Structure 1
Amino acid sequence: MDIFRSVHAVATASGDGEGTGAIDWAAVADAAKNVTDPGDLTLSTEDREGYATDVRDARQRLQSVGDVEFDLPEVVEVQNRHHWIDANIRTFKRVMRPIEERGRVPLPGVTRVVNTGTMAFMLSFLGKNVLGQYDPLLLAEGDADHGLYFVHPNIVAVAESLDVDFPRFRRWIAFHEVAHAAEFGAAPWLSGHLETRMQDGLNSLAHGEFDRRAFSDLDTAMTAVEGYAELLMDRAFDAEYADLREKLDARRSGGGPIARLARRLLGLGVKRRQYERGAKFFETVADERGVAAASVVWENPEHLPTDEEIKNPWKWIARVDPESRL
């Protein structure tokens, strides 16, 4: 790691780096990677076969348990931390484009340095902690396929720190990420729905406004996405997992003051809240009507629960009436 080079990259972000908007993306990449050890990506034959088997088995089990049909993304990668940072810089560049192109930037030189530093800090922190990711490639142009990433050095490190069996832990992570692939595969409309709400919200920010409705709708939809993945993974995983969840939850809520501050600044508490609210909603539906009944949420956008229905799943059951579809 080279902290000096990272600071220098951020400090010079107001120069002629990549991008002409509020963020110097080339400087973001340099700064984030200079303070992040890429990690060892040496994979044994057993490791490679293990990832492939876990992903394949997860797809088969999730299809059976959830009664959903979906294909895996063509892009399935085992990455190091730098690979993950590069992939997510491409994602953030797409997401931030409306603000960069139309946003009002006071003191552009100073703003560019601050924004570049903030983004670099965020990606370096996440790059050291993310285990796996399903990337629906929102706002991507053309026919870009979705991606499924596993950050091997982080999975190894966390399995060791939690004192759990690596192959078992890796398999559990695979089931969770493939569960997200199941959602987007079962609901071809989902990417477009999220993109529309995200675009509306970002366009409002670019004009100095805040579209509360757009961001509220996006939060509710993501609560359904996270909650259903939790349900499907829990019901499909082929071994006991309570100890894994307990240890990982404890790790996520622990750490030193800097780690806790970083999680708060990055809004990771919001993501945890989405997991918890969404999982509780779908557990109620599945306990009453079965997992297949919960899966009808992906039939069309009108079946997404409202915020009020997430609080009271019986209202969603009464509106959608999954029982009539079984």
Structure 2
Amino acid sequence: MQARSTAVLPPPERAGSGADGPSALDWKTAVATANRLLRPGPEVDRVHAEEAVRALRRFSVDAETHVRELTGMGLDLPVLEGSVVDRPTWVRAAADGLSQLTDAALAEDPATQSSDLLAGLNARGAGLQAGVVLAYLGGKVLGQFDPFGDSGVPGQRGRLLLVAPNIVAAQQALGVPPDDFRMWVCLHESTHRLQFNAVPWLREHFTASLGALLTAMEGTTGEVLSRLPAAVREARADNPARETSPGVLGLVELLQSPDQRDALDRILAVSTLLEGHADHVMDAVGPQVVPTVATIRQRFTERRKGGGLLDRILRSLLGVDAKIKQYAQGAAFTRYVVDRVGMDGFNAVWNSPQELPTRAELVDPPAWVRRVHG
């Protein structure tokens, strides 16, 4: 967010690059590349910029209070203020979080420590590619909860980031009331913070699942490419009249071995649940504290579909469209279960990893209800 006088966003908070040790991906290069490619935020005068920052900090606290009241989760945890950041600061934090996540995931299985998971990739080249991705997302992401960030409070891990220039730009594009939109965004991100802090095993389960996926990816590039002809035949057999691509996620799954598919299924299932639950909560709380929630949801959903040709291509290549489907699928699952067995019944998903829905159950919520509630 650019102020017409002086900058009013907090000074960039230090975020590591994750490149202090040897890595197949040079995160310092990724951050430097992203910062060169980042576009400036919207021009906002000093008064309105300062007001936006203050409001986001306040709403990050208020929002989590509302989320706790609705879900019954984490009622005894301290409520912390979110960090309001600019685009470069988000890039550094995202790179650091990704580096820590993959390091933690690999640490779950010592056998992966000596394996060359990205054989043949030049670390700098991989960093350049990651930097392009970070630059694109750096102009889109409204907020993020980094489960490995430093909260500054003993016993509570993770850091909530709110990207002020992107929130302002999105609100202006949608033409909705500023405070309503800020609260709506904070509701979603605060739900993610609560998920990880109120469910003791979730962070470790997520990293272990990612570690299993990375372990399953130990096959060489040649082995992956050797499955390409069979994958093409399978895609055609699945739908001989297919006129459109099955999408990046579909091709990835077709190229994977059974072990890789199982690992990816677990990651996608928990990610879909977390995103869908947050989307459901933000809309369920919305009518009480966001008068224009219906309008915001309608316009935001349309905005997710929009963009020019280049934007749509990038979204597909980066898996953004697949993530959008996760929101809808996970929200539909949450809505059905809450309507059927209530919020307390839904909260059984947080009892243990065994109670989490599978990918199949996410599209068949009655199956999960039968399995868990009898």
Q: TM-score, normalised by structure 1?
A: 0.83
Residue 67 of structure 1 and its aligned partner are, at CA, apart by: 1.7
Corresponding residue for 1:62?
67
Counterparts of 2:114 and 2:180, CA distance in 1: 45
Could you give the per-residue CA deviations for residues 153-182 of structure 1, whole angstroms, max 9, x where no partner exists? Answer: 111111111111222111100001011122
8 Å CA contact 1:75, 1:145 repeated in 2: no
User: Alpha-carbon deviation of 1:72?
Assistant: 5.7
User: Post-superposition shift, 1:113?
Assistant: 4.5
Aligned partner of 1:93: which letter? Answer: S
**Which residue of 2 is the match for residue 242 of structure 1?**
294
Counterpart contact for 1:29–1:85, Cα < 8 Å: yes
Deviations 1:142-201 (A, max 9, x none): 988201000001111111111112221111000010111222222111111111110111
| Structure 1 residue aligned with 2:358 | 306
Residues 137, 144 of structure 1: 8 Å contact kept? no
Matched, 1:25 2:27: yes
The 1-side partners of 2:211 and 2:312 are apart by: 30
Q: Where does residue 258 of structure 1 map in the other structure?
A: 310
In the other structure, the counterpart of 1:126 is 137
Determine the C-alpha separation between the residues in 1 that align with 2:312 and 2:164. 23
Task: Give the match's secondary structure for 2:162.
Answer: strand
Matched residue SS, 2:217: helix
The aligned residue for residue 184 of structure 2 is 172
Native 8 Å contact 2:157 2:197 kept in 1: no
Q: Could you tell me which of 148, 168, 187 is aligned with 1:156?
A: 168
Matched residue type, 1:82: P
Q: Distance in 1 between matches of 2:145 and 2:353?
A: 20
Q: Which amino acid aligns with 2:316?
A: R
| 1:6 counterpart residue number | none
User: Which moved further from structure 2: 242-251 or 215-224?
Assistant: 242-251
Where does residue 3 of structure 1 map in the other structure?
none
Distance (Å, rounded) in 1 between the aligned partners of 2:168 and 2:204: 35
Q: Does 1:278 align with 2:330?
A: yes
Post-superposition offset of 1:60:
1.8
Q: What are structure 1's unaligned runs of at least 5 residues? A: 1-16
Give ranges in structure 2 of 5+ residues lacking alignment: 1-18, 107-111, 225-256
Q: Which residue of 2 aligns with 1:76?
A: 82
CA distance in 2, matches of 1:311, 1:44: 42
Compared CA separation, residues 189 and 73, structure 1 to 2 (3 A)? farther
Please name the residue that 1:297 is paired with. Answer: 349
Matched, 1:145 2:157: yes
Distance 1:189 1:18, change over 3 A: closer
CA RMSD in angstroms comes to: 2.7
TM-score, normalised with respect to structure 2: 0.73
CA contact (8 A) 2:156 2:197 kept: no
Deviation at 1:284, TM superposition (A): 0.8
Paired AA for residue 193 in structure 1: H
Counterpart CA distance in 1 for 2:23 and 2:196 is: 31
1:293 deviates by 2.1
Q: Distance in 2 between matches of 1:96 and 1:184?
A: 17
For 1:218, the equivalent position in structure 2 comes to 267
Moved more, 22-31 or 123-132: 22-31
CA shift for structure 1 position 127: 0.2
Give the residue type in structure 1 aligned to 2:90.
W
Letter in 1 for 2:273: A
Partners of 1:284 and 1:313 within 8 A in 2:
yes
Deviation at 1:291, TM superposition (A): 2.4
Which amino acid is 1:94 matched to?
Answer: Q
Residue 128 of structure 2 corresponds to which residue in structure 1? 117
Which letter does structure 2 place at the counterpart of 1:65?
L
**Does the 8 A contact of 1:73 with 1:147 survive in 2?**
no
Change (3 A) 1:101 1:241: farther
What is the SS of the residue equivalent to 2:82?
strand
- Aligned residues of 1:78 and 1:150 also touching (Cα < 8 A): yes
Identity score, percent: 28
The 3 A distance-change label for structure 1 pair 308 and 86 is same
Going from structure 1 to structure 2, the CA distance change for 1:146 and 1:106 (only over 3 Å counts) comes to closer
Q: Is contact 2:57–2:81 with CA below 8 Å preserved after alignment? A: no
Give distance in 2, aligned partners of 1:107 and 1:193. 30
User: 2:195 — aligned with what?
Assistant: 183
Mapped contact 2:216–2:263 kept (Cα < 8 A): no
Matching residue of 1:192: 204
Deviation at 1:125, TM superposition (A): 0.2
Q: Distance in 1 between matches of 2:71 and 2:63?
A: 12
Q: Which amino acid aligns with 1:149?
A: L
Distance between the aligned counterparts of 2:51 and 2:81, measured in 1? Answer: 20
Measure the CA separation in 1 of the matches of 2:204 and 2:162. Answer: 25
Give the number of aligned pairs.
301
Residue 62 and residue 74 in structure 1: after superposition, are their counterparts in 2 closer, same or farther (change >3 A)? closer
